[in-house]
A and B are shown apart, each in its own frame.
Chain A
Amino acid sequence: MAITGAENEHNKRETMTPPNTTITEKSLSAVKVGQRVVVSAIKSCPTELLQKLVSMGLVAGTEVEVTQRGFFGSPINVHLLGSVLSLRSVEAAHIQVVPL
């Protein structure tokens, strides 16, 4: 996946993205600490894990902030809906996000 610099801090919330602009989607496991993103989809995920993730609030539209990473990048701690969630980067890889 091509990660360009454009998707970082520049397109903040102030302007609604026009429909023809492509938003760089990436997986939650590739998000840097301190960055705020919005979940866009959960992809190719076993249904048991999917049910767990969605019940914990990881659905399209949820705002998420990566707050910490463990040794060698896993697990990842994320803030969402007023609580902190810890998940392995393998699991975070299923979660597609767009920068906020």
Chain B
Amino acid sequence: MASNKITPEEYARKPHETPVVALVGNPNCGKTTLFNTLTGSNYKVANYPGVTVEKKEGKLALPDHRHARLIDLPGTYTISGSTIDEKVVTRFLCGQIQDNRKPDLILAVLDATNIERNLFLVSELIDARYPLVVALNMMDAAEERGIKIYSELLARSLDVPVIPIIARSGRGLEDLKNAVARELVHPAISHKALAWLPSDHKSAETIRQLPQPHTPDQLDADTITSIATLRYAWIRAIAARAVRSPEQSLPKLTRFDSILTSKVWGLPILFVVFGLIFQAIFLWAQLPMELISTSVDSVSAWVGETLPPGLLTSLLAEGIIPGVGNVIVFVPQIAILFLCIGILEDSGYLSRAAFLLDNFMRRVGLQGRAFIPLLSSFACAVPGILSTRTIPSRVDRLTTIMIAPLMSCSARLPVYAVLIAAAIPPTLLAGFISLQGLTLLAMYLLGVVGACCVSWVIHKALKRKESCFFVMEMPPLRRPIPRVVLRNVYDSVVSFLKNATTVILACSIVIWFLASFPSQIRLTREIPCVLATPDNSERRLSRPSSHSALTGRSALALSPRFQPERCL
């Protein structure tokens, strides 16, 4: 039924603006891979208004040169969820998000390897009376496990088109596009809504009158449980007809997987992996960062020398160019970090790391996934904070963002070195422990302990108000797709450049202004921004500041209060 050709006159019935197709599915069902393939990786990334949930929208080219807006919604198990991501899905489906009307069609992606759980979401979508096309993904993985799915039977039981696909290899996508195109012209609504509900069920009338989708706080616990139990009974009845799976269809815990999460080897492997990431952002990014900052310096020097001296030249050479340089100097670190995270996330290792670390992190009110952002913050807080987007819960994400800057980043090391050299005598404790080295260690520990305290306080103050729990699916280990990982790195870098440039550039110009005015005598360069990098911070310290400018004046006014530092 999937390969019927669409005639152009069928489209003529719906002449108005581009239809909206929403991509809905469980986490780890291959939704993102399907989205990338369907849009040819040609999409825009933005945030949903008011929340830090990523919104991806791309153009879906349909078989007869028509187009649809394809929107990738966050992965969810239910359309009546309570986390920030799940609420975005609910609000989107209700047509409550800004200019987005209700989607014209929902493309539900199902993981064929655990079809029963995936059908829960589909049963909710059918009840909410959305026009629906079901993409049955990962058919190859299901076959490997000996699961046989009769998609025609499934389609008849659900009363919606069901298209078997393999998003990774692109198999079945033409059929899928045809089905989407057809359903957009003749949106068919399944007649199986609330089919799971026995007619003599005592709360049948209540459930029929519920708004679909609804939020969990509209219901009491008993109703939620009985609705879900009945839904699953319906799903099992459908699965009994349309799915043949072997007795033991549970994925075997592979030997490699059990080593990765074992009590003996789990943590050592984890420390090696994270150690490598830390090395990568700390050391390997150093060379490109130095290259960027020296070339930015030479460009700004060249501009300063070539252009006729004046205010504009000064603004360009001492405000704007170093300001932009301060942004792009972080690109190598961010790219490397997101490459590492992308590989770990896509392969499924990040979930295993979260499993291993959760019990330790939980004690200070964090969750396992907060470890990577915090570790990368030792190299630099900027990529660290950016990487908190891998933490699903909003409170956990905010807490991690708050404490990440408390970790001593690499740019603070030269400052520590200078201060310690000036303030701590170079004595040796017990003959070999340097007091200065010990102080440096203490400074790092101070950051960690401070972070733990702040996190614990936030945990006590905030978490009670918002529901917060750690229930996640452990995706099977698989080989990451380079195209998806690299595209993710690109998206992160672009989003960083876009968002950071405006702020940092504006700050640079303000600081340039404060450093240059009211003095008109000699325009000298002041520290362009607080985000100093280790390689050039010393040079900046040694530069003379313009004493008559606003920054110079305020520095002179403040300096008596910091007398001891004057010895520097």
The reply to whether the CB of B427 lies closer than 8 angstroms to some CB of chain A is no
Residue of B nearest to A49 (CB): B469
Residues in chain B near residue A72, CB distance under 8 A? 359
Residues in chain A near residue B474, CB distance under 8 A? 77, 83-86
The reply to whether the CB of A91 lies closer than 8 angstroms to some CB of chain B is yes
**B253-A67 in contact (CB<8A):** yes
* Chain A residues within 8 Å of chain B by Cβ, number: 39
The reply to whether the CB of A48 lies closer than 8 angstroms to some CB of chain B is yes
Would you give the shortest CB distance from B222 to chain A, in whole angstroms? 10
Binds A, one of B116-124, B192-200, B455-463: B116-124
- A88-B469, A91-B470 in contact; A68/B117 too (CB < 8 A)? no
A41, A47, A85: most-surrounded residue (chain B CB, <10 A):
A47
- A70-B355, A70-B358, A88-B362 in contact; A83/B82 too (CB < 8 A)? no
Residue of A nearest to B262 (CB): A68
Binds A, one of B50-58, B73-81, B287-295, B554-562: B73-81
Question: B231-261: which residues lie under 8 A (CB-CB) from chain A?
Answer: 232-233, 245, 249-251, 253, 258, 261
**B114-A81 in contact (CB<8A):** yes
Provide the main secondary structure of the chain A interface.
Answer: mixed
**B224-A51 in contact (CB<8A):** yes
The reply to whether the CB of A100 lies closer than 8 angstroms to some CB of chain B is no
**B116-A86 in contact (CB<8A):** no
**B356-A70 in contact (CB<8A):** yes
Residues in chain A near residue B82, CB distance under 8 A? 47-48, 51-52
Binds B, one of A1-9, A15-23, A56-64: A56-64
Task: Tell me, in angstroms, the Cα distance from A57 to B356 when the chains sit together.
Answer: 24
**B117-A81 in contact (CB<8A):** yes
Given contacts A50-B224, A56-B77, A83-B474, 16 further A-B contacts (CB under 8 A): A41-B225, A49-B469, A49-B471, A51-B80, A56-B471, A56-B473, A61-B233, A70-B356, A75-B470, A79-B250, A81-B114, A82-B117, A82-B145, A82-B249, A83-B111, A85-B471
A-B pairs, top 6 by smallest CB distance, nearest first, are: A82-B114, A54-B228, A55-B78, A48-B82, A84-B474, A51-B216
